[in-house]
A and B are shown apart, each in its own frame.
Chain A
Amino acid sequence: MTETELIRELSGLRDVQAPRSIRAGALLGAGLADAYFPLDAPIGRVYVAHGERGLSAVAYAASAKVFERTFRAETGRVAVRQDPSERLAQTLQEWLRGDRRHKLRFDLRALGEFRQAVLFKALEIPYGQTRPYSWIAREIGRPNAVRAVGTALARNPVPLFIPCHRVVRSDGRLGQYSLIGPEAKKVVLEAEGVQLDQLEELAQTGIRYFGSDTTRIFCFPTCRCNKSLTERHRVSFASESQARTAGYRPCKVCRPAAA
């Protein structure tokens, strides 16, 4: 073999393409990409993205490609397909069942202070319970920003895990939902065991709170205090002032009114 032949053969070794995993690993390692994967949730298949700072997106998409495009447009970062660790997969399933024994972190860095405050407040609502939009507004110290609270929740980048679906209108209607729409919100709440027809009926008859005539405390109807409350001891209130006038104080767990 002549040197010229050898050099020609060596240039044949150029015929190589990098496996896709290199780009993914490089961008993940540099913190410029989030990993994403499909997840089967109670309302069907969603895509979940996460980076070093926590969950960054949960969304419906027609395809993985569409999800990647949307994610890039909304966060400015790249989403690369990578299966979750066993531990993360398990934690996500636990959360969907209302079991939060393992922590999840959320990457909300792109959101303003107000939106973050709204979403972290929604995170405090327990599984299977609901709160009105005005509750979030009051709790974060912006009692007049009820409409903006609604908008912030409707733009929740991580629905299901930050449970914006647990925030509903005080007239008993569900309000908007960031994953598909109100119909999906209903499915998610019912999957958590929320009795929506009962809540609607209460709202329509003007009942906002339940009180106990033994403790003289009033709560939101879905508060866990009401689970053990028998009908004989249950008192209904249409407003905070009615409850207070009757000598009841607000529950310290669900905080239906300022203490």
Chain B
Amino acid sequence: MDVVTALGADLDGAFPGVVETYQDSLYRFALRLSGNSQDAEETAQEAFVRAYRWLKSHQASLADLALKPWLYQVTLNVFRNGVRRPRPPTASLDDARELAGDGRVEPPAVAERTESRAELARVLAGLPRRYREAVVLRHVEELSYTEMAAVLERPEGTIKSDVHRGLGLLRAALAPAREEMLA
């Protein structure tokens, strides 16, 4: 029995398994979008709770649900609407470029394995949202373009060009910081 059928048959019994399966993905997705582990935690948690409530009220008609992209979409919506806690606005790309390589502005408690990874995460989180979402879904979460079209509700062609443009912006933002690090 696949997961969606199991959810339809016994939501309460099957949902904890969904949390186990997707918690790393949804947390990571929220972390790479926000660049902040606390926001990511709240976003992922809230996404699961909303997903459960929606499933509960649509339990009879889950047959066509594509679970994975749908969970990403729920997480994305929670992220876009912002977690309840008030917080300073996300740094713009300019700030990210300016601050890249400055250890003091590293978001709280995101322990990255290397300095270059921390820097990449920081710059990524400062990318304009449209491109950030596309790049994260494609190259961090490694979703297919079909899945991405379901998450973002945009045509695949548009998404491909957003990913391409996002990568370009990232490279441009990273280059000067990298030179500085080598100097």
A30 / chain B contacts, CB cutoff of 8 Å: 15, 48-49, 52-53
How far is it, in angstroms, between the C-alpha of A15 and the C-alpha of B121 when the chains are bound?
Answer: 12
Given known pairs A9-B117, A11-B140, the reply for A19 and B41 (CB within 8 Å) is yes
Nearest CB in chain A: distance from B64 CB, A: 22
Given known pairs A9-B120, A14-B28, A18-B23, the reply for A3 and B16 (CB within 8 Å) is no
How far is it, in angstroms, between the C-alpha of A76 and the C-alpha of B10 when the chains are bound?
Answer: 12
Q: Is the interface of B mostly helix, strand, loop or mixed?
A: helix
Indicate if the CB atoms of B16 and A12 lie closer than 8 Å.
no
Indicate if the CB atoms of B41 and A22 lie closer than 8 Å.
yes
Q: B90 interface residue, CB < 8 Å from A?
A: no
Indicate if the CB atoms of A29 and B48 lie closer than 8 Å.
yes
B24 / chain A contacts, CB cutoff of 8 Å: 16-18
Of the A-B pairs whose beta carbons lie under 8 Å apart in the complex, a sample of 25, sorted by A's number, is A1-B171, A6-B174, A9-B116, A10-B120, A10-B135, A10-B140, A11-B140, A13-B120, A13-B121, A13-B124, A14-B28, A14-B141, A18-B28, A18-B44, A19-B27, A19-B37, A19-B41, A22-B19, A22-B27, A23-B19, A23-B20, A27-B19, A32-B15, A32-B52, A33-B16
Closest 5 CB pairs of A and B: A26-B48, A29-B49, A18-B27, A30-B52, A25-B45
Given contacts A18-B44, A32-B15, 6 further A-B contacts (CB under 8 A): A9-B117, A13-B124, A16-B28, A22-B23, A23-B20, A26-B19
